[in-house]
């Protein structure tokens, strides 16, 4: 017999006393909203909601009409939850308080309502990413600083992917489960229980148009992949880039691989393109829960103490062996070359 998301959540609710019932209702509301977003994406060409809205979001990026539509759907779909104190979104400069009475033990929701939204115009996959944090017992009202928690503090993370099928992939901190939307019944059905990422892979995902801006360890890693069987890796690699993080991470959860959006020397102060709190952290939580790894190259993404709501970060995530190799290359690049150090020491003692 198949398991629906509703019964999966109901079982968790009765067996897990870490969270109140309303927390599970919140996950249910997010799933319902993702179903509504799937329908909005599906109908976008018919409804005239493809293309640009003619405005920019807080990061100066062009907002698509559907970015705004889906942001509203997420806000409305989660507004009436008893334990949700406030929400933050890629599409909103500031946090939005839900108006619910502030009590201890409440939650904060962060989301990217339509990840990879440019893909909508070409009928390619897009997604919704979300992350749930506990709201610390600080003074009322909730403020932006309440959201600045490291990824390790997440209690739930997930995404919906709107592709050939709509799927919802979820972690509550004890593994990753994938549900497929049955369009006939309207239910999400557990089709991918306990998803795990193979430790080794021959597939990488990176926007190679940025090659000339990468730092040395990333160039070294990709050069070695491209050298294939003739190079130091002694095997051929394959490359995939959907240009929607949700879709690239989904592929990695299903068959392994590594996804990189490294720091870019064009804008060194930006530390990457992806947003820490509602893109990198939830995806890192899912990837780690599926047995993979997620790093900036220098440190574990989920250990980073955020300093701003829309902070960006470098991300390298996926199959464990590859992310370990990438972090080793970064460590080696950060160390002085031993021969050079010895030569300098020699010179110093001679004079
Ligand atoms: O949200 C940012 C994002 O759209 C990701 O979903 C995606 O991985 C990346 O940007 C695509 O970047 P680029 O435009 O460099 O291909
Ligand atoms: Mn995004």
What residue's CA is closest to ligand 1, atom 15? 207
- Report the nearest-CA residue for atom 13 of ligand 1: 243
Instruction: Looking at the CA of residue 261, tell me the nearest atom of ligand 1.
Output: 8
Q: Is residue 351 pLDDT above 60, yes or no? A: no
**Confidence (pLDDT) at 55:** 85
Residue 167's pLDDT is what?
A: 98
pLDDT on residue 178: 98
Q: Quick one: average pLDDT of 32-53? A: 94
What ligand 1 atom has the least distance to the C-alpha of 242?
8
pLDDT band at 155 (very low <50, low <70, confident <90, very high): very high
Pocket test for ligand 1, best of 264, 266, 274, 280 (most atoms within 8 A of CB): 274
What's the pLDDT at 136? Answer: 78
Taking only the tens place, the pLDDT of each residue in 233-247 is 999 999 999 999 999
Please report which confidence band the pLDDT of residue 17 belongs to, taking 50, 70 and 90 as the band edges.
confident
Helix then strand then coil, % of the chain, to nearest 5 = 40, 25, 35
Q: What is the pLDDT of residue 103?
A: 58
Per-residue pLDDT at 344: 66
Dist. CA 285–CA 150, nearest whole Å? 11
Residue 338 has pLDDT above 70, yes or no: no
Residue 209 alpha carbon, nearest atom of ligand 1: 15
Determine the pLDDT at residue 105: 58
Q: Which atom of ligand 1 is nearest to the CA of 244?
A: 6
Question: How many angstroms does the Cα of residue 118 sit away from the middle of ligand 1?
Answer: 9
Atom index in ligand 1 nearest the CA of residue 279 equals 1
pLDDT greater than 70 at residue 350:
no
pLDDT of residue 141: 82
Determine the distance separating the centroid of ligand 1 and the alpha carbon of 62, expressed in angstroms.
13
pTM of the model: 0.94
Work out the pLDDT band at 30, boundaries 50, 70, 90.
very high
| Residue 133, pLDDT score | 97
**Ligand 1 atom 12: residue of nearest CA:** 243
3-state secondary structure of 24: helix
**Interval between CA 343 and ligand 1 midpoint (Å):** 44
Query: Is 9 a residue whose pLDDT tops 80?
Result: yes
- Confidence band, pLDDT 50/70/90 cuts, at residue 300: very high
CA of 245 to the centre of ligand 1 (A): 6
Q: Which ligand is nearest to the CA of 120?
A: 1
Lowest-pLDDT choice from 60-69, 192-201, 337-346: 337-346
> DSSP letter string over 219-251?
HHHHHHHHHGGGSTT-S--EE---S-HHHHHHH
List, in order, residues 6 or more apart from 234 with CB less than 8 Å away.
none
Position 210 pLDDT exceeds 90: yes
Number of residues that make up the chain = 351
> Does residue 157 register a pLDDT over 90?
yes
Give the model's pLDDT for residue 208.
Answer: 96
- Beta strand 107-115 with 84-89: parallel, antiparallel or unpaired? parallel
Which pLDDT belongs to residue 107? Answer: 94
Pocket of ligand 1 (CB under 6 A): 115-116, 207, 243-245, 273-274, 279
Please give the average per-residue pLDDT across 181-205, as a whole number: 97
What pairs with residue 317 in β-bridges? Answer: 259, 294
Whose alpha carbon is nearest atom 14 of ligand 1?
A: 243
Q: Rounded to the nearest whole angstrom, what is the distance from the C-alpha of residue 351 to the centroid of ligand 1?
A: 54
Domain boundaries, the chain: 5-192, 203-334
| Domains 5-192 and 203-334 are alike in CATH topology | no
Phi, psi of 202 (to 5 degrees): -125, 30
Residue 224 CA to ligand 2 centre (angstroms): 29
56 band by pLDDT with thresholds 50, 70 and 90 = confident
pLDDT, tens digit (0-9, with 9 covering 90-100), for 85-143: 999 999 999 999 887 655 555 899 999 999 999 999 999 999 999 999 999 776 678 89
The CATH label, of 3.30.360.10, 3.40.350.10, 3.40.190.80, 1.10.287.110, for the domain at 203-334 is 3.40.190.80
The CATH code of domain 5-192 reads 3.30.540.10
pLDDT at 234: 98
Compute the mean pLDDT over every residue in the chain, rounded to the nearest whole number: 93
Torsion of CA 111, 37, 284, 212, to 10 degrees: -90
pLDDT grade for 269, boundaries at 50, 70 and 90: confident
Question: Looking at the predicted structure, is the pLDDT value of residue 66 above 70?
Answer: yes
């Amino acid at each position: 017999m198949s398991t629906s998301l509703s019964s999966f959540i109901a079982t968790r609710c009765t067996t897990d006393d870490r969270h109140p019932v309303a927390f599970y209702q919140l996950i249910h509301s997010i799933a319902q909203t993702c179903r509504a977003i799937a329908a909005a994406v599906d109908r976008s060409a018919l409804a005239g909601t493809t293309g640009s809205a003619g405005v920019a979001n807080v990061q100066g990026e062009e907002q698509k009409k559907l970015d705004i539509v889906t942001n509203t759907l997420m806000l409305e779909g989660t507004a009436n939850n008893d334990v949700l104190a406030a929400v933050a979104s890629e599409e909103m400069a500031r946090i939005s308080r839900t108006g619910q009475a502030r009590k201890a033990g409440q939650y904060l929701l962060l989301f990217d309502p339509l990840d990879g939204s440019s893909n909508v115009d070409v009928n390619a996959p897009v997604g919704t990413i979300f992350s749930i944090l506990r709201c610390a017992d600080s003074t009322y009202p909730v403020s932006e600083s309440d959201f600045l928690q490291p990824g390790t503090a997440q209690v739930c993370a997930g995404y919906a992917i709107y592709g050939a099928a709509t799927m919802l992939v979820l972690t509550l901190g004890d593994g990753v489960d994938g549900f497929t939307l049955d369009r006939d019944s309207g239910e999400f059905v557990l089709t991918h229980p306990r998803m795990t990422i193979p430790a080794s892979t021959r597939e990488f995902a990176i926007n190679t148009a940025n090659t000339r801006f990468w730092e040395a360890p990333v160039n070294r890693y990709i050069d070695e992949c491209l050298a294939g069987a003739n190079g130091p890796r002694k095997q051929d690699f394959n490359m995939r880039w959907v240009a929607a993080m949700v879709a690239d991470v989904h592929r990695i959860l299903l068959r392994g691989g590594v996804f990189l959006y490294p720091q870019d020397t064009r804008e060194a102060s930006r530390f990457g393109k992806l947003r820490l709190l509602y893109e990198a952290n939830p995806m890192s939580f899912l990837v780690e829960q599926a047995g993979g790894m997620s790093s900036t190259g220098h440190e574990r993404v989920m250990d980073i103490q955020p300093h701003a709501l829309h902070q960006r970060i470098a991300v390298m995530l996926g199959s464990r062996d590859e992310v370990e190799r990438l972090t080793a290359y970064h460590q080696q690049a950060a160390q002085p070359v031993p021969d050079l150090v010895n030569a300098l020491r020699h010179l110093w003692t001679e004079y």
